[in-house]
A and B are shown apart, each in its own frame.
Chain A
Amino acid sequence: MLIRGVMPGRKESKMIEARGLTKKYGDTVAVDNLTFAVEPGKITGFLGPNGAGKTTTMRLILGLDRPTSGTVQVNGKQLRQLAWPMREVGALLDAKAVHGGRSAYNHLLCLAQTNNLPARRVTEVLDLVGLHEVARKRSKGFSLGMGQRLGIAAALLGDPSILMFDEPVNGLDPEGILWIRNLMKALASEGRTVFVSSHLMSEMENTADELIVIGRGRLIAQSTVAEFIAENSQQSVRVSTPQRGLLAAAAAAAGATVRDDAAGKLVILGLTTAQVGDLAFENGIRLHELAPAQASLEEAFMELTASSVEFQAGLPSDQRDAVTAGEVA
Chain B
Amino acid sequence: MASTIAHERLVGGAVAHDAPGRAGFFGAVRSEFTKIRSVRSTYWTLLALFVVCVGIGALFAWGQTERLASIAGGTTLNGHPIPSAAQHSFLAQREAEIRSAASSISLFGLLFGQLIITVVGALTITSEYSTGMIRTSLTTMPRRGTWFAAKAVVFGLVALVTGLVTSFVSFFVGQAILSSWHVNVTLGQHDVLRSVIGGGLFLAVCGLMSFGIGAILRHTAGAISAAIGLLFVLLILSNFLPGPPSGWFGQTDIDKWIPFYAGAHIWQNQMLGVNPFSPWIGFGVFCAYAAAAIIGGLFLFLRRDA
8 Å CB interface, A95-120 against B: 96-103, 106-107, 109-111, 113-118, 120
Contact string against A for B residues 1-27, beta-carbon threshold 8 Å, 1 for contact and 0 otherwise: 110111101111111010101110001
- Contact assessment for B34 and A113 in the assembled complex, using a CB-CB cutoff below 8 Å: yes
- B305 touches which of A64, A83, A109 (Cβ 8 Å): A64
Q: From residue B281, how far is it (CB to closest CB) to chain A in Å?
A: 39
Residues of B within 8 A of A82 (CB): 142
Q: From residue B137, how far is it (CB to closest CB) to chain A in Å?
A: 8
Is B141 at the interface (CB under 8 A from chain A)? Answer: yes
- Contact assessment for B15 and A158 in the assembled complex, using a CB-CB cutoff below 8 Å: yes
Q: Which residue of B lies closest to A121 (CB)?
A: B14
- Contact assessment for A99 and B133 in the assembled complex, using a CB-CB cutoff below 8 Å: yes
8 Å CB interface, B262-306 against A: 303, 305-306
Is A187 at the interface (CB under 8 A from chain B)? Answer: yes
- Contact assessment for A109 and B34 in the assembled complex, using a CB-CB cutoff below 8 Å: yes
- B27 touches which of A91, A116, A124, A183 (Cβ 8 Å): A116
- Contact assessment for A85 and B23 in the assembled complex, using a CB-CB cutoff below 8 Å: yes
8 Å CB interface, A130-175 against B: 154, 156-159
What count of chain B residues pass the 8 Å CB interface test?
48
Q: Which of B36-44, B86-94, B214-222, B230-238 contacts A (4 or more CB under 8 A)?
A: B36-44
- Contact assessment for A186 and B132 in the assembled complex, using a CB-CB cutoff below 8 Å: no
Q: Which residue of B lies closest to A80 (CB)?
A: B142
Q: From residue B206, how far is it (CB to closest CB) to chain A in Å?
A: 24
CA distance A116 to B35 in the complex (A): 15
Name the interface size band of chain A.
35 or more
Is B127 at the interface (CB under 8 A from chain A)? Answer: yes
For B41, B131, B133, B136, the residue with the greatest tally of chain A CB atoms inside 10 Å of its CB is B136
Residues of A within 8 A of B15 (CB): 87, 117, 121, 158-159
A80 and B144 in contact (CB under 8 A), knowing A111-B136, A113-B34?
A: yes
A185 and B2 in contact (CB under 8 A), knowing A64-B305, A98-B132, A114-B31?
A: yes
A190 and B10 in contact (CB under 8 A), knowing A80-B142, A98-B132, A116-B19?
A: yes
A94 and B135 in contact (CB under 8 A), knowing A101-B40, A114-B31, A121-B14?
A: yes
Is B78 at the interface (CB under 8 A from chain A)? Answer: no
Residues of A within 8 A of B140 (CB): 85-86, 111, 114-115, 154, 157-158
Interface residues of A (CB under 8 A from B): 59, 62-66, 79-80, 82-87, 89, 91, 93-94, 96-103, 106-107, 109-111, 113-118, 120-121, 124-125, 127-128, 154, 156-159, 182-183, 185-187, 189-190
